[in-house]
A and B are shown apart, each in its own frame.
Chain A
Amino acid sequence: MNIGTYTLGARLDSLNYLEAQDALIDIIEKSSDVVLDMTDCHYVSSAGLRVLLLAKKTTAAQGIKLYLVGVNAEVKDVMDVTGFTSFFDIYETMEDCMKAIEATS
């Protein structure tokens, strides 16, 4: 069991999405499951949402799981109305997420 985690900063948008994307892909390649900690993130732009989806597709292609943790209410709302939420497993806290991962493994 090798759980990779990546922590987002305050924003995920076109100014830092490439950086986040590269780092995430790197982690995905080395991990069995990946947790994206969004607790501090309060804004995700169109470009940012696409990083999340790309990470999801990459993990799925590798047969591993991607979990999102601590998605702020406003970000969650944008993800809901644009249909992105349906692609992800979302947990409120790191602890909840780890419990869920343990339960499935």
Chain B
Amino acid sequence: MFRVDHFPTHEYQGLKLRHGRPYPFGATVFGNAVNFSVYSRYATSCTLVLFRNREEKPFIEIPFFKEFRLGNVFSMMVFDLDYENIEYGFRMDGPFQPEEGHRFDKSKILLDPYAKLIVGRDVWGKQPNWDSLYQYRARVVFDDFDWENDLPMETPVNDLIVYEMHVRNFTCGAGSDVKHKGTFAGIVEKIPYLKELGVNCVELMPIHEFDEFENSRTSPVDGRQLYNLWGYSNVGFFAPKAAYASSGRFSMQVDELKNLIKCLHANGIEVILDVVFNHTAEGNEQGPYISYRGIDNKTYYMLTPEGDYFNFSGCGNTLNCNNPNVRDMIVESLRYWVTDYHVDGFRFDLAAILGRDQNGNPMSNPPLLESLAHDPVLGKTKLIAEAWDAGGLYQVGSFPSWGRWAEWNGKFRDSVRRFLKSDPEVLDDVKERILGSPDLYAAEKRGIKASVNFVTAHDGFTLMDLFSYNNKHNEANGEDNRDGDNHNNSWNCGCEGPTDDADINRLRHQQVKNAITLLMVSQGIPMILSGDEMGNSQQGNNNAYCQDNEIAWLDWNDLQKNADIFRYFKQMIQFRRQHKVLRYEEHLSHTDYLGLGYPDFSWHGVKAWQPWAGHNNLTLAFMLNGKYAPHDDFIYVAMNMHWEMHGFELPQLPEGMVWHVFANTGMEAPEDISEPGKEPRIEDQHEVLVGPRSIIVLVGRYFPKNFVST
């Protein structure tokens, strides 16, 4: 079918052109033409700059003719381009008046803010030509991946077990035994491992294109190169990081990432992307021109009345998220990752910034957050906020949600850590956390599903380090140990760092197991930090954002070294997946509202039904009535963070049911945990002895009538 409006109307230096379509922004293929469209409110003129692949000099620069501008959008179609072999950028002309917010400079070649394929940094850590006029280079993308019957999975949010991971850290380290280390393809090779562990969702730390050389320097400890490893610094919001693809050198990162997501889905594992819409890699006034600053500085950035950059992100600039046009870009970006990459959800870095107005003030009903909550395409997409920012806004429990937004529950992390180190002041708070934080989320009926629980995340100590260090040890980061959090609530169990003391090492393993137990038996969405399941250490570094080396990389040999920890994690995850009663969506009533003989949830102490009975505010027990799930077992958990052993009186089960022991962190492997469903019956049905700093998990189920004791 030919269209009568699809013929060239203009010619420029041998290339045929016509005025383009303003929407969609970016570069889009229409038949034998590519439509280029870019928005700038304040630019006076714009030029399309075309390169042959990887060539330093452009082969043509085509000015957008006057008639190619509609409103504030420059758009044109260029015919008969060999579009697999061209790269494109823009030059923008306009005022350079920083005090007014304008920084146009037509000597710069700028990346399209909507670029879907960015080349130029194709191999990790390979120095680019810093003198090159155009470093991050946009290409036109093939968007016809063969997904077969794949779609976003829409796993119920309360059934998720999230595994937070980093593309390089996961497979770059010793013993990973994959062919494509540090890449999307490397993760595909490890899918059998993820399945064995039992997680059903991976949360990928930023995979949008960023600059690993941003702020690069060498380590004062050993002189090694330090990188921006984590990538919380976007170059482009629509393009995957080329150097995370083993096929990046052939510019096939789009297909490689899509294949990863397709393979994960085929194995029942969802994908959440950690997205960074709070700032860009352009830094402050001294930073480089990559895109936004030169395309339309005043649109894209939050500026002070003097035209300087606000720094609510702690990274030099702040994206102007509640400018209507930037808002649209963010929505477009998210829709694109869902429609074209089948992504299942997003975790928003420093999301409190997304609720600030253009002057930086927090809003009560931020339009961006409301748009995302009600977006038709994102209607079943998980939205998770890191509900604070570097400007001091802390919104855990109060992030505007419209019933759609979940939060990283930082209070879960803090309370549970304090409880685990036997802090007697925190018991009441821990009770809220175990229940899915009703104190934070019940009043607005946000439910348990609003709470993403975690003890560790990429920011801060790994789980093993949490029990191996009292203090952070970030000297290798080159900031005199000033960087990283000082409020770790950690405890080294008696020695700072590695030790040969068997008792200390045993206690550390026990504490790691205590932590994963609390995480898995609490209501809410549990999130595990990748590597914790094998006892990964970062040598006390609690901010390893720049350590692209064995400090941050997983050492897969730890799987053998800490085999008991891996086994414990695996069984504990399986246990959670088998028990619906641990995965409620809405908060519990603590009453027997269905008349089933027991309340849905009950607190206990060292005496059954007497939660106030305890020792030093460090003992606590609870019971879940499986009939409310429904059709599940009873579960009883006794926690003793006291340094003495205590007996816990057990609540009596309904007639015919008996207690079986699933886990006891006070025991050494293999007695520390059972295979779920094969738990041994306990001798004494009236009391359990819980060792110092230990947790016991019991399962109450009907005892087979034909059981013959051997």
Contact = CB atoms under 8 A, between A and B. Distances in A.
Interface of A: 13-15, 45-47, 49-50, 53, 77-78, 80-84, 87
Interface string B180-193: 10011100100000
B82 interface: yes
B503 interface: no
Interface in B225-282: 245-247, 250-252, 255-256, 258-259, 262-263
Interface in B69-98: 82-85
Say what secondary structure dominates the interface of chain B: helix
A82 B85 contact: no
B196 interface: no
B402 interface: no
A47 B142 contact: yes
B interface bracket (residues with beta carbon within 8 Å of A): 20 to 34
The 9 nearest A-B residue pairs measured at CB:
A83-B259, A14-B84, A81-B185, A82-B255, A47-B84, A81-B256, A78-B247, A46-B142, A81-B247
A16 B80 CA distance: 15
B500 interface: no
Contacts of A13: 84-85
B395 to A, nearest CB: 40
B144 interface: yes
Nearest to A82: B255
A80 B185 contact: yes
Nearest to B86: A14
A80 B144 CA distance: 17
A83 B263 contact: yes
Contacts of B258: 83
A19 B676 CA distance: 59
Interface in B179-213: 180, 183-185, 188
Contact of B246 (A15, A46, A81): A81
B82 A53 contact: no
A82 B259 contact: yes
A77 B250 CA distance: 11
B259 A46 contact: no
Determine which residue in B82, B83, B142, B255 has the highest number of CB atoms from chain A within 10 A of its CB, and name it: B255
Contacts of A15: 82, 85
B146 interface: yes
Contacts of A78: 247, 250, 252
Nearest to A17: B84
Nearest to B245: A81
A36 B256 CA distance: 24
A14 B259 contact: no
Contact of B144 (A50, A81, A82): A50
Contacts of B185: 80-81
Contacts of A53: 146
15 contacts: A14-B83, A45-B84, A45-B250, A46-B251, A46-B252, A46-B255, A50-B142, A50-B144, A78-B252, A81-B185, A81-B245, A81-B259, A82-B252, A83-B259, A83-B263
A46 B445 CA distance: 49
A82 B245 CA distance: 9
A45 B84 CA distance: 9
A13 B84 CA distance: 9
Nearest to A85: B259
Contacts of B251: 46
Nearest to B254: A46
Contacts of A14: 82-85
A84 B142 CA distance: 14
A82 to B, nearest CB: 4
A81 to B, nearest CB: 4
Contact of B256 (A45, A82, A87): A82
A53 B263 CA distance: 18
A45 B256 CA distance: 13
A71 to B, nearest CB: 15
A99 to B, nearest CB: 29
